[in-house]
Chain A
């Protein structure tokens, strides 16, 4: 048992060394970053963070990112919950193939879809809006959400549905009052994964936005510009992109634990 915990601690230390390096780089002066390797900043500076906080471009891009991730999670859940219910409760013609086919959509490289998406969203008049990115991310999130939710739903015995109907529950009432609370942890886990994958995605977010809806992942790459790489600024921005996610994880941690304890995912 002891050996296990030591191995685990070593793993977590290794896991966090690169992140630690980014954090201390973000607090160093540009001079120190380039001049020598120090494992703790000699002179702590918040200059890079100030540069980000005072810039409207950075602020807007953080807001844009959070908005489309939020929209995407909502859209994904609204579509995937009934979809997963269909797969978990009925064996209809072609259901197995359809179930697998959904996942194949996630397999396509995002780079492939750049141009068709651009064309399509131009036609729909949503190019360069957060809606375009939110919709595009459904490509990666809906299949995953359905797969995860189906696992959770299949873990709930059909008898529960049947008993509820015998007791005179209408379908919407049964769904809201009984079924949704039962798969609550599963929805939490699914939302976490959707948040993650939408938050970290770059290619589509980059292809579908120009200025109005530019997300933070794109603003970040701009930092690698012609006038030499601003390492301190990049590190600071990189660290800031982790924070919303970390906050989400913190709030759903018990949910995650419960969800993981309950479902077969």
Chain B
């Protein structure tokens, strides 16, 4: 009977092997070779990894990436839950809100970059003008704080709706009986949220956190279009760093960065997944 499960998984495994497994093996293969545009690859073992880890450009990109992803999670998930709680729970208002929330998600990454360039560029966008009224001299192209701050704002703008939609789905799945019981027990609004809503939202929040973490680690087109990774390297996040190396045909280095990168994301997601699934066990009811 159990072998039947594998039978059902054949299409998945087939597609995943050509869209993920084989390419990944190729990348691992690159990472242990010295390859440079067209020359014959030579086996170098872990040398590429050592080179990456010692590279200040990589460390800088990783550091910026960690700060960005942490901020994104810290803001988008709570904000998403708050929005989900405020959404109407039925009728046309709900449908309208879902459609409105869905729209930013459907904007291609590079169009998001373009929108924000139109919005924040000095001399064509309203944001610098607005901030100038408050005496702040905003310049996304030249200021090493404004540029990453804009990327952060852009990401919150683009992806908070995802957290909101997922949280809303979770909220909708909580039976009313739980709230009635909490009300009868005289639980405060906060306690109801803490002991009824939050534990019940756990499965969707796990998905939201995992998706936001791994996707924020992949941020690429937005900084590329907004500032091209600059000024300096203030918006060169990991993906941009990898892509640059790969495009300059430094395949060994690019492969090694990629594997390290993947390792970091998997370890974080795995730990998070394990901790959160075991942690809340007692609270679920």
Q: Residues on A close to B: CB < 8 A?
A: 4-5, 7-8, 11-12, 14-19, 21-22, 25, 33-34, 37, 39, 75-76, 78-80, 82-83, 85-87, 89-90, 92-93, 95, 98, 100, 102-117, 119-120, 124, 135-139, 142-144, 146-148, 151, 155, 189, 192, 195-196, 199-203, 216-217, 220-221, 224, 231, 234-235, 238, 241-242, 245-246, 248-250, 253-254, 256-257, 259-265
B69 to chain A, nearest CB (A): 12
Per CB-CB distance, the 9 closest pairs between chain A and chain B, nearest first, are A245-B106, A83-B12, A116-B23, A116-B26, A112-B258, A86-B8, A111-B243, A79-B11, A260-B169
A257-B95, A263-B169, A264-B204 as given contacts; A113 in contact with B105, CB under 8 Å: no
Residue numbers in A under 8 Å from B19 (CB-CB): 105, 135-139, 142
| Residue in B20, B104, B125 whose CB lies within 8 Å of A139 | B20
Across the interface, A238 reaches (CB within 8 A) one of B15, B21, B30, B115, namely B115
Closest-CB distance, B38 to chain A (whole angstroms)? 13
SS class, residues of chain A in contact with chain B: helix
Interface of B is mostly: helix
Q: Does B52 have its Cβ within 8 Å of any Cβ on chain A?
A: no
Chain B residue numbers with a CB within 8 Å of A115 are 26, 30, 246, 251, 254
Known: A21-B119, A92-B5, A242-B111. A109 touches B204 (CB 8 A): no
* Residues 154-177 of chain B, each 1 if its beta carbon lies under 8 Å from chain A, else 0: 000100010001101110110000
Q: Cβ of A22 and Cβ of B87 under 8 Å apart?
A: no
- Determine which of B103, B116, B242 lies in contact with A111 in the assembled complex, contact meaning CB atoms within 8 Å: B242
Of all chain A residues, which has the CB nearest B257?
A112
Given A39-B126, A110-B218, A257-B94, A8-B87 contact (CB < 8 Å):
yes
Name the contact of B125 in the complex, choosing from A21, A109, A144, A261 (C-beta under 8 A). Answer: A21
Q: List 11 A-B contacts (CB under 8 A).
A: A4-B86, A8-B97, A21-B115, A22-B119, A37-B125, A86-B9, A112-B258, A113-B27, A200-B105, A220-B110, A259-B169
**Given the contacts A22-B118, A79-B12, A265 and B108 also touching, CB distance less than 8 Å:** no
